[in-house]
Structure 1
């Protein structure tokens, strides 16, 4: 049977490390833990699962830390996880089955990552990444932040999913690392520029984000990242309350890709923010007629394809005093996620209206 090394880099993960290792330790054949400076009980907890623990001086470079962890592996294949990720029971069985049947002509295996789990246990966001690689191929990580494995060869797309359940807030750590590299005069790759712009956006530095992402989209870059960058620029203008300018960037994406739920949702929301409810309703309803994608290319925000459009349609129709259509979309939200806090509050409100009438 194929053997697997689990390789992880950690720092101050006492809140999550046990659940992560519990979910996988009976499947893998070796656990390599590289600590980059923990000051809590992380390593004490890790020792219950492995003695293969190494220290690595943190130098603001995730790829170098991950490459170091990979260098310590001794098994046929390497699986990487972050400490705030878990593999549930169903996917543990899938992973064990894959391990038993895996042929040595496979160079890498992709898995879905499920993020932002809702109250019903369903992911709001799905992405796909290379998760298992053949050790002897000596694949390397690329990028000091938002790192990825440089893969070639025979890649297997599996049906295994990993749950990313983030607890710890990272604040502006990534942004500080980018700025440090700029101060050192390090040249940014296209990918670095793309993620730097997104970090500026996440830290509400919208004018700077626009400038960086404008530079990025002017280059010959991967279409998926180009489209996402255009959307981020549009969202920056939305935050600046420049809705017409925002829509210019959302519309530009149609030159490269088919209409997508996330893009159209932004267009609809921009009209709603201007209280142009008829236009907003038209765009939200376009989304509901699109088929939900089955395979993610980079990242899918599932909420923008059904739940959020219904929720916004509920609000828009209410603003137009069309209570019946508003209630209809509320019930659609309830079908999708009855435990959502807004849905629960809306249900109480609609019940009070029904009682009055």
Structure 2
């Protein structure tokens, strides 16, 4: 069957690596066409797994690819779970092309990817920038000559069944191109989706305490906390982040993020407890002292509570570590662009004003005043500069 499919694929360039687009859908007629428009130019084959659409999604997908004259297949199946259905999807893709490109049915590309890189790369899986409020790295392209298994009830991870330690590449990580996770799929219509994820992940944690063949136990704790935070159950989130920090052999980036998230939760539910907030901020700094997030979060918190000196002491430490692109290349998880240049100097200039640091504050504003990232705040920043210029030293 695979040979017949490869004959269907137009390979005008015999050296070009072929790509199979893979996605799952259910009642996505309102968003899936944008996703298909985003990827069709780069693919040679497609496999779509529908798990029970009652709208026009199935016909829309078939009509779209018929119009583009791209071969592929749509198969229907009962929804069991992310791990089961995604694995089933990849099984249907297996060996029909060189690579699989896997997106959610509401994801779209922002910018133009250079998939010709695949013609000279040899990794088994490739990271891309993904944006959903913050940037993080996600695996989107997989070697389609290997068998893959998705693991977990939510926030799935993936295993290569043919190669225990599969190779990864960050060659597609670029500021000019990323995946936009729009969160507009049919699942987003459920206001309880994050809370339900938290409950499923909590059960997964207990179910993997003894038997954990896919190494899900520690991951279950972190993403239970994440899901509780996303569902605004902040006290539960704090408990599960703290549990994660007590575990052994965990990922340092998730340790860092747990400390940051606990501090954010405390600022929202118990802002008067500056001692405890500072404790978790300092824990994060001890993990990664070259990340701006903890310095910025605590500095802004201090400014808002009129603790200008303490705010300044934290914010000023971002000045030499505020190159977002450099940090983004180094770390995978949740690098917050809004905590780096020029946003850090904007907040730091506020501390300078209240500490009568006139020249220093003006210098910071001059460095950022024409930055496109803060164009919407330019009038306010100009006013702040006038306030600083009016200081009588």
TM-score bracket for this pair, using the shorter chain length: 0.7 to 0.9
What SS does the aligned partner of 1:283 have? helix
Partner of residue 235, structure 1: 264
Partner-residue secondary structure (3-state), 1:275: coil
| Corresponding residue SS for 1:297 | coil
Q: Tell me the distance in 1 between the aligned counterparts of 2:127 and 2:204.
A: 35
| Superposition deviation, residue 198 in structure 1 | 1.5
Alpha-carbon distance between aligned partners in 1 of 2:150 and 2:253, rounded to the nearest angstrom: 20
Is 1:54 the counterpart of 2:63? The answer is no
> What do the CA deviations read for 1:22-47 (whole angstroms, capped 9, x no partner)?
22212211111122344444333322
Match for 1:158 among 167, 171, 174? 171
Q: Give a deviation string over 1:1-23, Cα, whole Å, max 9, x none.
A: 32211111123333432222122
Shift of 1:145: 1.0
| Per-residue Cα deviation, 1:233-252 (whole angstroms, up to 9, x for no partner) | 12221112122211101112
Deviation digits for residues 45-95 of structure 1 (CA, Å, limit 9, x no counterpart): 322126622223333x3222211211111222211112333234531xx11
Kindly indicate whether the alpha-carbon contact (under 8 Å) linking 1:236 and 1:246 is maintained by their aligned counterparts in 2: no
- Counterpart CA distance in 2 for 1:182 and 1:299 is 22
Report the alpha carbon displacement of residue 100 of structure 1 after superposing the two structures with TM: 3.5
Contact persistence 1:145–1:174 (CA under 8 A): no
Instruction: Note the C-alpha offset of 1:115.
Output: 4.2
Q: Aligned to 2:319, which of 265, 271, 288?
A: 288
1:119-130, aligned counterparts within 5 Å? 125-130=134-139
Moved more, 42-51 or 74-83: 42-51
Output one character per residue of 1:253-295: Cα deviation in whole Å (capped at 9) or x when no partner.
2443334111211221232232101221221121121152233
Matches within 5 A, 1:130-169: 130-151=139-160, 152-160=165-173, 161-166=177-182, 168=184, 169=188
> 1:35–1:320: structure 2 CA closer, same or farther, 3 Å change rule?
farther
Q: 1:351 to 1:129 in 2, by over 3 A?
A: closer
What is the TM-score normalised by the length of structure 2?
0.76
Instruction: Tell me which residue corresponds to 1:122.
Output: none
Structure 2 residue ranges without an equivalent (≥5): 1-15, 67-71, 209-216
Does the 8 A contact of 2:201 with 2:221 survive in 1? no
1:262 alignment counterpart: 293
- Specify the alignment match of 2:128 in structure 1: 111
Counterpart CA distance in 2 for 1:146 and 1:197 is: 12
5 Å-filtered alignment, 1:1-357, equals 1-47=16-62, 48-49=64-65, 52-59=73-80, 61-73=81-93, 74-91=96-113, 94-95=114-115, 97-103=116-122, 106-116=123-133, 125-151=134-160, 152-160=165-173, 161-166=177-182, 168=184, 169=188, 171-180=191-200, 182=202, 187=207, 189-220=217-248, 221-239=250-268, 240-241=270-271, 242-292=273-323, 293=327, 294-319=329-354, 329-330=364-365, 332-337=367-372, 340-341=375-376, 343-346=377-380, 349=383
The question of whether the paired residues in 1 share the 8 Å contact of 2:32 and 2:105 is answered with yes
Which structure would you say has the larger Rg?
2
Tell me if the contact between 2:29 and 2:60 (Cα under 8 Å) persists in the aligned partners: yes
Report the RMSD for the aligned CA atoms in angstroms.
Answer: 3.1
Compared CA separation, residues 210 and 89, structure 1 to 2 (3 A):
closer
**Structure 2: how far apart are the matches of 1:198 and 1:248?**
20
Higher relative contact order (CA 8 A, sep 6+): 1
| C-alpha displacement of 1:340 | 4.7
Q: In 1, Cα distance between the equivalents of 2:385 and 2:205?
A: 61
Partners of 1:322 and 1:15 in 2: how far apart?
A: 53
Residues 1:192 and 1:109: Cα distance change in structure 2 (over 3 Å): same
